[in-house]
Amino acid sequence: MTATVTTPGARRTRVLSKKALLPWVFLAPGLLLALVFKFLPMGKGVWLSFFKVRPFLGDQWVGLDNYTRVLTDHRFLDAIGHTLLLGIGQSLGAIAVGFLLALLLEGQARTLKIVRTAVFLPVVTATAVVGELWRLLYYPTSDGLINHALGFLGLGPVQYLDNPNTALWATMVMSVWMLAPYNMVIILAGLAGVDRTLYEAAAMDGVSLWQRLRYITLPAIRPALGIVLTLAAIRGLRVFTEVYVLTGGGPAGSTEVWMTRAYTLGFTRNDIGGASAASVVLLCVTLLLTVTVNYFRKRGDVR
Amino acid sequence: MTAPAIDPIRTPVPTTVDKATQERRTTPARFDTALGWNDRPGVSWALRILLCAIALGIFAAPFLTIVSGAFTTHASGSSLSFLPHDSTLQNFKVAGERGIWDYFTNSLVIAGGALLLQLAVSVLAAYALARHRFRGQALILTLFMLTMMLPEEVIAIPLSLVLGHVPVVGVDLKGTAWGVILPLGAWGFSVMLLTEFMKDIPTEIEEAARLDGVGEFRMLWQVVLPLCKPALGVAGVLGFVMIWDQYLLPLIAAKDPTDYTVTVALSILRTDPEVGSGVVLAGAVIALVPSLIVYLLLQRSLVAGIAAGATKG
């Protein structure tokens, strides 16, 4: 290559390649972190799920053994029921309560804004703090706050967290308490977009309050709501911290969910292979559900 | 980018609410809300106040019990109330002896470091995704979206192995703040949010700067970034809430309990037979204060972010 033929064309290709490289320089930190701390562990999890992991002895290939063991283990099977009940129940409950809160607190008045600020507090509070708080609210003797309130109604003290029949529902109530104000904010944003003249027109036509909600408000906020509800339900399937902090899966495994079970298997019983298999199953289910939901959503958008 | 020049620089979501308010002012108050609340004294007005009081009682009052219990000498579940009987700092002193301030320092270091890293990573990635066109763009976007599908819960077991021995470099991150900070660096939501926002910045501004001979990094730092302040606020506050809420990650990244964050350490206080509920609540108050401060300062950004995240999915 001679210096004399440094044509504009050659310079352009060099500039182009530098320009082509540039985005990757900006992307590098994010991609590197995602690769090492997200995708590598994911791949490693899938890999380990086919092995019997034995420290110092070397891992032993066991094929699908871990999967069959996990999927036939009765504690995992129980956990599926609890996980589904908790995930679906807390999502539906939080949507309903969030909707009621939004209807109640909609408006521009200063006092309403202050009430909204206060009601939103559970969302910004760390789950661990919420868990400690509710352990005390659920205090099993008649002096505990909720039992004290029940005492006024003449109802005996309930041992919310120590009774296998009530512990899961108690967990669900706490989750609804944490999630409902979040949904309230989303629904409020939807309510703000409702055309006010529709309400006025409805009033002129003598439409009842129920019909107004049913035919004007609900259709207006449904698009946002459907997605939120579905994604929340899917996210609910990997619930861990709430249960771990509040009940630890007890009493007698009555609040054991999929992830707390996998955690116990992996970290307490050191069955890395089994725990990995359980995580992979959960990952596949949530991925599949999310992709399906997004597919139908996109199709809905196009139409 | 072929955004028309008339496109104003987008301000975050609250404007839609404000716009709605302005339009609404022309109609009577009872058409302001879905339920048609009346703002003049009357039955509907009284009912609304009552219901608001109940909502406050359920969602906000429990926080008063945390605070009052933390300042009460012999707080146990049995003597909780909304107001302290006798104020004392005894609980905080005992919690301090159990090392609560060390845990709190761990939390602050991790939250500060992780938030800075998360914002830096997101801004850089978003700049590439929004302001450049390159091969594989859609794939990269999908990859970042996938990181949201891989929360610590699902990859906890292999992640703890990776943290114990990071491949290639071979360092052990367990027991260091980095073990919590680095896995939180790539957060898909923050990348998406900033990408969407940067896409709406008119290219004319950038082109004018480029004519003046501004380089890429200065372009990002001095031209694009200042225009992104509203989005940075949203990404920052949501990122902080997400980081402060981490439980499993600090748990698996710790070598021994002194590495715990304050939220994880609450369970140590609870299971300590020598301290009562009052001390646990003192710890809870300490863990609560930073979230409260961030929330009250950046409330608008937080609410805007949640509303935006929901409408965009």
- The string of pLDDT tens digits covering residues A13-38 is 555 577 778 888 889 999 999 999 99
Rounded to the nearest angstrom, the minimum Cα separation between A221 and chain B is: 10
3-state helix, strand, coil in chain B (%, to 5): 70, 0, 30
B65:A105 CB<8 A:
no
What are the structure tokens assigned to B112, written together?
A: 């500060």
Q: Is A117 a member of any domain?
A: yes
Q: Is A27 a member of any domain?
A: no
A22:B216 CB<8 A:
yes
What are the structure tokens assigned to B130, written together?
A: 């929004």
Q: Is A53 a member of any domain?
A: no
pLDDT at B30: 65
What are the structure tokens assigned to A284, written together?
A: 């596949």
* Cα–Cα dist B209/A204, whole Å: 56
B161:A44 CB<8 A:
yes
B156:A279 CB<8 A:
yes
Q: Is A38 a member of any domain?
A: no
Name the residue in chain A with its Cα closest to that of B265. A128
Three-class SS state of A213: helix
B35:A245 CB<8 A:
no
Q: Is A52 a member of any domain?
A: no
* Cα–Cα dist B202/A137, whole Å: 53
pLDDT at A32: 93
pLDDT at A97: 94
At B4, the amino acid letter reads P
Measured in whole angstroms, the distance separating CA B172 from the mean position of its chain's CA atoms is: 28
- Which long-range contacts link A111-114 to residues 24+ away (Cβ below 8 Å)? A112/B52
Residue B248: its chain A contacts at CB < 8 A? 240-241, 244, 263
Q: Degrees (nearest 5) of the Cα angle A177, A188, A229?
A: 55
Residue A68: name the closest of A277, A291, A257 by CA: A277
* Cα–Cα dist B147/B189, whole Å: 9
Could you give phi then psi for residue B25, rounded to 5 degrees?
A: -55, -25
The tens-digit pLDDT sequence of chain B (313 residues) is 333 332 333 334 444 444 444 444 445 566 777 777 777 777 888 888 899 999 998 998 888 888 888 887 665 544 555 555 566 788 888 888 888 899 999 999 999 999 999 999 999 999 999 888 888 888 998 888 888 877 778 888 889 889 988 887 888 888 888 999 999 998 888 998 899 888 888 888 878 888 887 777 888 888 888 888 888 988 998 899 999 999 999 998 988 888 899 999 988 888 887 777 888 888 999 999 999 999 888 888 888 877 766 443 3
A38:B186 CB<8 A:
yes
Residue A48 is nearest to which of B55, B129, B158, comparing CB atoms?
A: B158
Residue B291: name the closest of B249, B237, B247 by CA: B237
Helices and strands (H and E) in chain A: how many: 15, 2
Name the residue in chain A with its Cα closest to that of B137. A23
Residue A216: its chain B contacts at CB < 8 A? 34
pLDDT at A233: 77
Give percent of chain B above pLDDT 90: 21
pLDDT of residue A4 exceeding 50, the answer is no
* Cα–Cα dist B16/A234, whole Å: 29
Domain coverage including residue A132 = 66-302
Q: Is A103 a member of any domain?
A: yes
Q: Is A144 a member of any domain?
A: yes
B16:A139 CB<8 A:
no
Chain A, chain B: beta-carbon pairs less than 8 Å apart = 304
pLDDT at B199: 87
Give percent of chain A above pLDDT 90: 22
Residue B263: its chain A contacts at CB < 8 A? 126-129
B33:A145 CB<8 A:
no
Residue A121: its chain B contacts at CB < 8 A? 59-60, 63, 292, 295
ipTM for the predicted complex comes to 0.84
**Cβ contacts of B128 within 8 Å, gap of 6 or more:** A22, A23, A24, A25, A26, A27, B134
What are the structure tokens assigned to B171, written together?
A: 């360092």
How many structural domains are present in chain A? 1
B134:A240 CB<8 A:
no
Confidence (pTM): 0.84
A24:B166 CB<8 A:
no
Name the residue in chain B with its Cα closest to that of A22. B128
Residue B186: its chain A contacts at CB < 8 A? 30-31, 33-34, 37-38
A207-220 pLDDT, tens digit each:
778 888 888 888 88
Let me know: does B193 contact B235? Beta carbons within 8 Å: yes
Count the neighbouring beta carbons within 10 Å of the beta carbon of residue B74.
14
What mean pLDDT is predicted for residues A241-250?
86
Query: Tokens 């945390």, residue?
Result: B66
pLDDT at A12: 52
B59:A118 CB<8 A:
yes
Q: Degrees (nearest 5) of the Cα angle B90, B104, B87?
A: 20
A103:B33 CB<8 A:
yes
CATH (domain of A190)? 1.10.3720.10
Residue A10 — left, alpha, or beta (φ > 0 → left; ψ -120 to 50 → alpha)?
alpha
Rounded to the nearest angstrom, the minimum Cα separation between B59 and chain A is: 5
pLDDT category of residue A39 using cuts at 50, 70 and 90: very high
Residue B16: its chain A contacts at CB < 8 A? 189, 192-193
B183:A33 CB<8 A:
yes
Name the residue in chain A with its Cα closest to that of B135. A20
CB-based burial, A249-273: b 16+ in 10 Å, e otherwise: bbbebbbbbbbbbbbbbbbeeebbb
pLDDT at A302: 44
Q: Is A12 a member of any domain?
A: no
Rounded to the nearest angstrom, the minimum Cα separation between B4 and chain A is: 24
Residue B217: its chain A contacts at CB < 8 A? none
A194:B34 CB<8 A:
yes
